[in-house]
Amino acid sequence: MKVKLKIFRYDPENDKKPHYDKFVVEAEPTDRILDLLEWIKDYQDGTISYRRSCAHGVCGSDAMRINGVNRLACKVLVKDVGTKVTVQPILGLPIEKDLIVDMEPFFDSYKSVMPYFVGGEENPQKEQLQSPEDRERFDDTTKCILCAACTTSCPSFWANGEYVGPAAMVNAHRFIFDSRDQAAAERLKVLNDQYGVYRCHTIFNCTDACPREIQVTQAIGDLKKAIATSRLD
């Protein structure tokens, strides 16, 4: 089948403003959108620029807006989106070139919530014990691949880039609800702020956008509740 792609283009070295280019690609229904981009880059236009690596939805490089919603280009097949496909960069981060955005503000927000384990010993002789139930409590938020699909689908983030955003909160959740961790209170303090949990208006775009099917809005809800009640249960 023939797939018509309309792709957002911006070359900071030559373009005053962005535009769209159209391409027609012969494809199978089971081809990934990433496969189509690769074919265009290989055979039609080598200048088209995007990030990609693992090509099966675990590295988080190729989050894009595909037909208006945030998806990984390697996890969307032609049969999922049909023969007319519009590809744009994710929204709310500065555009560097074509589908590549500046990820630094995203990673800065991530780093602001202490996204690392606090506790443990230097030269341990044994593991810290954790029951399967306690492990399950934060399982969902361990799956995050930092692709930014959630944060850049969030209208509150679009409105104000200072908002730490869903991805950072998912990563805070991962540690706050880990029974072994010892810094939950400090992280909750960071999130108990005008740029923290209160900017989440439960729109659920983030949950829909997550390629790992993390219940992002639910996780943020857990954090709101923990702040309101000062309890982690």
Partner 1 sequence: MKTHQYEVLIIGGGGAGLMAAIYASKGASTAVLSKLYPTRSHTGAAQGGVGAALGNAEEDRPDWHTYDTVKGSDYLGDQDAIKFMCDVAPEVVYELEHMGLPFSRNPDGTIAQRPFGGHTNNNTGKPVTRACYAADRTGHMILQTLYQQCVKNKVTFFDEYHVVDLITANGSAAGVIALELATGELHIFHGKTVIFATGGHGRVWEVTSNAYAYTGDGVAITLRRGIPAEDMEFFQFHPTGIYRMGILITEGVRGEGGVLLNNKGERFMDRYAPTVKDLASRDVVSRAMYLEMQDGLGINGNRYLYLDVTPETVNKYAALDGRTRPDGSAFRITAEEILSKLPDIIDFCHTYLGVDPVTQPMPVQPTAHYAMGGIPTNARTEVFIDEKDTIMPGLYAAGEVACVSVHGANRLGTNSLLDIVVFGKEAGLRAAEFSRGASFQPLPEDAADFSCEQFDRLRNGSGKEKAADIAKEMKEVMNDHVGVFRVEDGMAMALDKVRELKERYKEVRVGDQGDVYNTDLLNIWELSNLLDLAEVTAASALARKESRGAHARDDYQERDDKKWMKHTMAWLEDNEVELKYKPVTITDYKPKKRVY
Residues lying near partner 1 in the complex (CB under 8 A): 11-14, 30, 41-43, 45-47, 49-61, 75, 77, 96-98, 100, 103, 107, 111, 114-117, 119-132, 135, 138-139, 142-146, 174-175, 178, 180-181, 213
Residue 233 Cα to chain centre, angstroms:
27
Burial bucket for residue 103 (CB in 10 Å: 0-12, 13-18, 19+): buried
| Cα-based distances in Å from 88 to 67, 103, 229 | 8, 16, 41
DSSP assignment, residue 218? Answer: H
Shorter beta-carbon distance to partner 1: residue 45 or 162: 45
Shortest gap between Cβ of 8 and partner 1 (angstroms)? 14
Shortest gap between Cβ of 121 and partner 1 (angstroms)? 5
Shorter beta-carbon distance to partner 1: residue 4 or 56: 56
Shorter beta-carbon distance to partner 1: residue 57 or 156: 57
Shortest gap between Cβ of 65 and partner 1 (angstroms)? 18
Q: Residue 3: how many CB atoms within 10 A of its CB?
A: 20
How far apart, in whole angstroms, are the C-alpha atoms of residue 175 and residue 46?
A: 42
How far apart, in whole angstroms, are the C-alpha atoms of residue 166 and residue 163?
A: 9
Shortest gap between Cβ of 159 and partner 1 (angstroms)? 26
Shorter beta-carbon distance to partner 1: residue 162 or 213: 213
Is residue 117 a contact partner of residue 186, using CB atoms and an 8 Å limit? no
